[in-house]
Amino acid sequence: MTIVPKRLGVKFNLKQTPKTQPADIVPIFQRWIQEHRVEGMLIDVIDYKHVPDGPGIVLIADEADYAYDFGYGEAGLHYVRKRDLPADFAAALKLVFHCALLGAQALEAEAPEDLIFDYSSVKINFLDRMNYRNEPAVFDEIEEALRAVLSDIYGAAVGLSRVHDDPRRLFAARAIASPDAIDLEDIGARLHESRQLV
Amino acid sequence: MTSWKELLNDKIPAEMGNLIDTYEAQMELRKQGKLDEKVFAEARLRKGVYGQRYDNGQRHDGVRTRDLLYPSDEVVKGPDTLWDAPGMQRIKIPYGGMTAEQLEALSDLADEYSDGILHITTRQDIQLHYVHIDDTPDLMRRLAAVGITTQEACGNSVRNITACTLAGVCHDEVFDVSPYADAMTQFLLGHDDVQDFGRKFKVAFSGCAGHACGLVKMHDLGLLAQTREIDGETVRGFTVFVGGGLGTVPHQAKVLADFCTEEQLLPLTQAIARVFARLGEKKNRNRARLKFLVAKLGIDEFRKLVREELEIVPADPRHTDYIDRVSDFVNAPAKAGMALNGAALPDGFAEWYRSNVYKQVQPGYSTITLNTPLGDFTSEQGFALADIAREYVGDNIRLSVEQNVVLRWVADADLPAIYRDLCAIGLGDANAGTIVDITTCPGTDTCKLGIASSRGLTAELRARLIERINLLPDAVRDLKIKVSGCFNSCGQHHVADIGFFGNSRRSGNHKMPHFQVVLGGQWQENAGSYGLACGAVPAKCVPDVLEALTERYVAERAEDENFQAWVKELGRKEIKAMLQPFTKLPSFEEAPNYFSDWGDSRVYTIDDIGVGECAGEVVSLFSMEISKAESTHFEALLALDDGDYTLADENAYKAMVLAARALVRTKYLDVGDDYSNIVDEFRSRFYDTELIYDRFAKGKFARYLFKRHAEAPARIDQDYAHQIIDETQLFIENVHTAEQRINGVIVG
């Protein structure tokens, strides 16, 4: 059985460099707290835009963080689930994927012409060095399970690779689906349904 | 599935491991409601586990105050502090010195337990924010495995001992104070005589009088390196300052001793600690710092008391053992020193060299400062920095009180290459130590006491100043700015040329974030003098105020007149007049942006201010010590459940001894750790006198301890383990009752 990591993150990158500045995201996230725009027990917004290639602007929640993130020089929406992950790996990944998707779509809706995410490529971060050392063997062990869940999510085959070679970095995998095969409504519906089942 | 505890068992020193296990047991007891919340709060603070803003379960979202419905909303980790609310983990880095391996471990933890950011504090600590308390034991184990402790990082204890980042490489120092700071850290950590303070106790070392260095004059205890000729020999020692401090009521430290030798350093410190523990304020924490005791007694009386105490400080080989190791202290390069050889220099190098590079006293080497914005860097930068350190300087990494990373022992020939590497990871900014390099506390971002956004203001000032830095005259460029989110001075605004601290004012029916302007503080000469508060201005006016001040300074200053002298010359009345135009408050309708803080779109409120934990909880020494007995008893129970009856017996016995020790220390502080000595003292003071006697059982429970101490069990099985654990529980209850009867109080 595939171990559920202590923390699990999913990041969608932006397709292009946006005109929207990181500082513009602060009021958006603060309004999200007022309006409960995304799920979770939303607590606060923290601004790290002064740090190069950092977590950017982070919406802190009790069980998860939503970050307008610049890690590794890639701007995107990074959702990190910190607690209350289902005990089953597939269910956990689907939950995190779904929350990240909803978060990215919510952000896209704030500036539809500018903040456009590439949903065909997703980075999955395993924030758990105890159970997921960043080694090729770990990727080999998890590849099949990961591919099965992601293919299920996308409704299509996905390419899968380990992201970082440096063993000190967090273990992360990138999945790429054919952009033609992506139907976000279908993906959302499938994920919603799977969460209902859980 | 394995655990960090199992995985790192061989790498964690036993004593550190035991302390973490005890803390974890205390967490469990608190969750079960079996440990008083104040006692647990102080125990947690002494592990560096600190509360954060909104941990009382409420946050104003700009429209109204909303309840934050944390899952374990019935469980608290301190008064009004909810268990599941994110907190801050402070990590002590003595004198700011760390290795590449430690930096990597810290980066791991930032990734896995925090938000990927490592924050450098004004005491050379690292802080991780948004940490869940349940993660803290493993976090501590992973630190312990690389030689870092969080023990006594917060609470009423000896905080991280600081020292100048140039110690050992400085042109002007008397000698390298690093090994002394290291020795004092080791000596005071967990020492019995520093467990009963009414407030925190801050220590700093400085190698010279002239520079800012260790800022010894703003510390509870400041040690300034000196040498004396004694019997024809040059002897090392320190001028000893006591009773300094910033906070709401800043005090300049006073000289306790012109010179104490290195042999006297630790016993004298111990004597100071004992006087502070005995006579310092315990109930009113606003008056509990050493500075108030020194002011109340007067330095002469305080000195007399310390001298008397010094006479009765028990002999301890550790007082002088460390001296032999001073010369072994590693202060050496990883590579051979080489001069810059005329190679092509990268763009921006000259500017960076001017502000960020310090030529060491050792020829061919430099110390470089990494201008770390707001004291923050990412875990990814941490890993890359560890690589850079290994390549160029080895483990010669330090953190500065100006919230920067410092690399020492860079061979001069490597400067262009290291500059290129630092630029590649976003840490090659010039202007370290200039007006751009602003010090700031966390303020309203995460601190419960924050009134205004010190980080928001700092980020704004920094961004504006960077744009203009090349246009600024040197006199302005070299000014120091320091910002605090409230009057408590964690951003050290008193010792800056220009300081700001947050407060609020009312305009109509709304509150408006303000900053008090503090001018003319002195960073040099070890925080030689404190600035004067000159008036509060709206937060949104601060950039304009800064511009007005600096322009006038440049226009009016006499040749070579520094900022302090200019402020003094100008006078408070004139400064007030200069600030006057900025103090006119617009209405909400006229300028709504004035009613939001920097970096915050919410309409400003002070409703989120909570009760700070800086002061720790006022908890008696007995309460703290008996809680250790209780958690050790709990560990015995866990061992029993695991079927490890030998460990259950060991822990039960230890818990009884700790309970006895807790009671003995209410009468005899120097009882020490030796089991036999503790039992003997307990017997003579409480058993023979019948003070421990229960009304009905008389001395029965105490005899459980005597029996186990006299003889280890011949056979340990489940029944035996069960029995001794029950006996231990009864003995601990007996001690509690006796202490209440004898001293009349448990929690202060």
Query: Which residues is B67 bridged to in the sheet?
Result: B58
* Parent domain of A120: 8-197
Whether B70 has its CB under 8 Å from any CB of chain A: the answer is yes
CA distance B186 to B182: 6
The three-point CA angle B297-B302-B307 to 5° equals 155
CB A25, CB A111: distance < 8 Å: no
Answer yes or no: is pLDDT of B85 > 90.
yes
CA distance B659 to B735: 7
Query: Which residues is B694 bridged to in the sheet?
Result: B698
Domain B621-743 is found in CATH 1.20.120.330: yes
User: What is the model's pLDDT at position B330?
Assistant: 76
Q: What is the mean pLDDT of chain B?
A: 93
- Nearest by CB to A41, which of B68, B377, B380? B68
CA distance B518 to B481: 10
Whether B75 has its CB under 8 Å from any CB of chain A: the answer is no
CB B224, CB B238: distance < 8 Å: yes
Q: Write out the DSSP string of B59-113.
A: EE-SSSEEE---TTTT-EEETTEETTS-EEEEE--GGGEE-HHHHHHHHHHHHHH
Fold for B4-144, please state it: Alpha-Beta Plaits (3.30.70)
CB contact under 8 A, A30 and B59: no
Domain locations along chain B: 4-144, 170-326, 439-595, 621-743
A1 within some domain: no
CA distance B51 to B89: 9
Stretch B105-129: mean pLDDT: 98
pLDDT interval class at B748 (50, 70, 90):
very low
CB contact under 8 A, B115 and A65: yes
Comparing B214-228, B472-486, B560-574, B673-687, the range with the smallest average pLDDT is: B560-574
Stretch B227-247: mean pLDDT: 95
User: What is the model's pLDDT at position B743?
Assistant: 76
688-717 in chain B: CB under 8 A from chain A: none
Token digits for A70? 């610049």
- Nearest alpha carbon to residue B462 among B519, B518, B546: B546
pLDDT interval class at B592 (50, 70, 90):
very high
Determine the 3-state secondary structure of B55 from DSSP.
coil
CA dihedral (B580, B586, B592, B596) positive or negative: positive
Answer yes or no: is pLDDT of B185 > 60.
yes
CA distance B460 to B456: 6
CB contact under 8 A, B383 and A166: yes
CB contact under 8 A, A50 and B462: yes
ipTM topping 0.95 = yes
Stretch A139-143: mean pLDDT: 97
CB contact under 8 A, A82 and B59: no
- Nearest by CB to B61, which of A33, A62, A131? A33
Comparing B87-96, B340-349, B421-430, B539-548, the range with the smallest average pLDDT is: B340-349
Whether B63 has its CB under 8 Å from any CB of chain A: the answer is yes
406-465 in chain B: CB under 8 A from chain A: 425-426, 445-446, 455-456, 459, 462
Neighbours of A109 (CB within 10 A): 11
CA distance B131 to A65: 12
Phi first, then psi, for residue B197 (nearest 5°) are -85, 150
CB contact under 8 A, B108 and A82: no
pLDDT interval class at B102 (50, 70, 90):
very high
Fill in the DSSP letter of residue B529.
B
Fold for B439-595, please state it: Sulfite Reductase Hemoprotein; domain 1 (3.30.413)
- Nearest alpha carbon to residue B548 among B537, B558, B559: B537
Whether B380 has its CB under 8 Å from any CB of chain A: the answer is yes
Answer yes or no: is pLDDT of B746 > 50.
no
Among B2, B5, B129, B378, the residue to mutate for chain A (most A Cβ within 10 A): B378
**Do B4-144 and B439-595 agree at the fold level?**
no
A93 within some domain: yes
CB B668, CB B685: distance < 8 Å: yes
Answer yes or no: is pLDDT of B47 > 90.
yes
Whether B6 has its CB under 8 Å from any CB of chain A: the answer is no
Determine the 3-state secondary structure of B171 from DSSP.
coil
Q: Which residues of B touch A31 (CB under 8 A)?
A: 601
β-strands B203-206, B162-163: how paired? parallel
A2 within some domain: no
| pTM of the complete model | 0.92
pLDDT interval class at A172 (50, 70, 90):
very high
CB B651, CB B633: distance < 8 Å: yes
CA distance B12 to B16: 7
Q: How many CB pairs under 8 A join A and B?
A: 108
pLDDT tens digits along B726-741: 899 889 988 988 888 8
pLDDT interval class at B140 (50, 70, 90):
very high
Buried b (16+ CB within 10 A) or exposed e, B624-645: bbbbbbbbbbbbbbbbbeeebb
Phi first, then psi, for residue B559 (nearest 5°) are -55, 130
**Residue of chain A with shortest Cα separation from B8:** A130
CA distance B118 to B126: 6
User: What is the model's pLDDT at position B1?
Assistant: 67
CB contact under 8 A, A3 and B53: no
pLDDT tens digits along B607-629: 888 877 766 667 888 888 898 99
CB contact under 8 A, A51 and B115: no
Residue B346 CB-density burial (10 A; 0-12 exposed, 13-18 middle, 19+ buried): middle
Q: Identify the helix (H) or strand (E) that includes residue B41.
A: helix B37-45
**Residue of chain A with shortest Cα separation from B455:** A47
Q: How many domains does chain A have?
A: 1
Phi first, then psi, for residue B403 (nearest 5°) are 65, 40
CB contact under 8 A, B115 and A58: yes
Whether B104 has its CB under 8 Å from any CB of chain A: the answer is yes
Q: What is the mean pLDDT of chain A?
A: 95
pLDDT interval class at B526 (50, 70, 90):
confident
Whether B69 has its CB under 8 Å from any CB of chain A: the answer is yes
CA neighbours closer than 13 Å in the CB half-sphere of residue B586: 14
Q: In this structure, which CATH number among 2.40.50.140, 2.40.110.10, 3.40.50.720, 3.30.413.10 belongs to the domain B170-326?
A: 3.30.413.10
